[in-house]
Amino acid sequence: MVGTELGDASDLFWSTGACVVRGAVDRGTIDRAREAVERLVRTGSLADLSALADSGESARFSAGVDHWRSDDEFRMVATTGPLPDLVAGVLRTDRLWLYEDSVLIKEAGCSLETKWHSDDGYFHVEGRQLATLWVPLDPAPLASGALRFLDGSHRASNRYRPTLFVTEDAIPGTEGELPPQIGFESPDVFGFGLQVGDCTIHHARTLHAASGNNSGVNRRALSIRYCGVDSVIRQKVGAPSKPGLESIPDGTPIAEAAENLGLPEAELSGIQNS
């Protein structure tokens, strides 16, 4: 990945709310992530999101969050190597912190859509430099549930409340508008079919969604959420919390908060400044 390509991705990210970076995730990183996901699946600790939607299908959608806290491999993949460099380059930040990671497995034939939402409502942080990196660990054409984005939605003033992800129901006790549910054929909706090695990066305020998995292969993805240097703590009422967060006042800069919360800072190679 040379500077110009990352610069183009960054321009696309800031103008539309999301970008694709192709061929930037090396085989070693993919293999390490796949092994960590296989270990995780064996623990049986992923949540069955299909159950939230009362789905009786045999093909399931399962997910988990904060795997870096219990498996060092997830922490290494998120904070060293190419992934944080890509996000820092796109966000144009020279420091970057891991906020959380998530494994999302939509099995082949699972018809459940990921409903339109923005990540902002779930995150207890605020700022311009907030992004989610979505890394497929299997080929991910749009038909398998690669993400779709609403053009320019990161610039809207609307604040959306978090939902149950596979239904339009809000998480009880949260605040904000319910996100709109938009047809994938709308002219303002865009997305990228992805090969293993590609990834997308979207802003925390960008509305995004995914179809069911209409391909013949399971869609495993690692989604990693990061904060750049301009982020501050902002607690979102009712959203799932993080250990220690209750003692951090709103407005605390991420550099200080991360130290108290134990959120790791990524090791950057300097590519983001090229």
Ligand X SMILES: O=C(O)CCC(=O)C(=O)O
Can residue 119 be called a binding residue for ligand X (CB under 6 A)? Answer: yes
Tokens of 170: 């809000």
Q: Which is nearer to ligand X, 79 or 208 (CB)?
A: 208
Geometric angle at alpha carbon 100, from 53 and 203, rounded to 5°: 80
* Cβ distance to ligand X smaller for residue 93 or 102: 102
Asked whether position 65 contacts ligand X by CB under 6 A, the answer is: no
Among 134, 142, 144, 155, residue whose Cα is nearest residue 207: 155
User: Counting contacts by CB under 6 A, is residue 212 touching ligand X?
Assistant: no
Q: Is 162 in the site for ligand X (CB under 6 A)?
A: no
Q: What angle, 0 to 180 degrees and rounded to 10, lies between the N-to-C axes of helices 72-79 and 27-43? A: 150
For ligand X, the binding residue among 207, 221, 233, 257 (CB under 6 A) is: 221
For ligand X, the binding residue among 29, 62, 132, 231 (CB under 6 A) is 132
SS3 6: helix
- Binding ligand X (rule: CB under 6 A), the pick from 81, 84, 121, 145 is 145
Residue 162 corresponds to which amino acid? P
The answer to whether residue 98 forms part of the interface with ligand X (CB under 6 A) is: no
User: How many residues sit in the footprint of ligand X (CB under 6 A)?
Assistant: 11
The Cα–Cα gap between 217 and 214 comes to: 9
First vs last C-alpha separation in the chain: 11
Tell me how crowded residue 190 is: count the other CB atoms within 10 A of its CB: 18
DSSP 169: P
Contact flag: residue 208 with ligand X (CB under 6 A): yes
Residue 226 as a binder of ligand X (CB under 6 A): the answer is: no
Contacting residues for 241 by C-beta, under 8 A, at least 6 apart:
124
Q: Is 198 in the site for ligand X (CB under 6 A)?
A: no
Using the rule CB under 6 A, is 46 a contact of ligand X?
no
Q: Which is nearer to ligand X, 174 or 269 (CB)?
A: 174
Instruction: List the one residue from 83, 199, 210, 258 that touches ligand X (CB under 6 A).
Output: 210
Least distance to ligand X, CB of residue 274, Å: 27
The DSSP call for residue 245 is G
Closer to ligand X by CB, 97 or 149: give it: 149
Among 114, 129, 144, 231, binds ligand X (CB under 6 A): 114
Q: Residue 136 is inside which H or E element, if any?
A: strand 130-136
Binding residues (CB under 6 A) for ligand X: these are 102, 104, 114, 119, 132, 134, 145, 208, 210, 221, 223
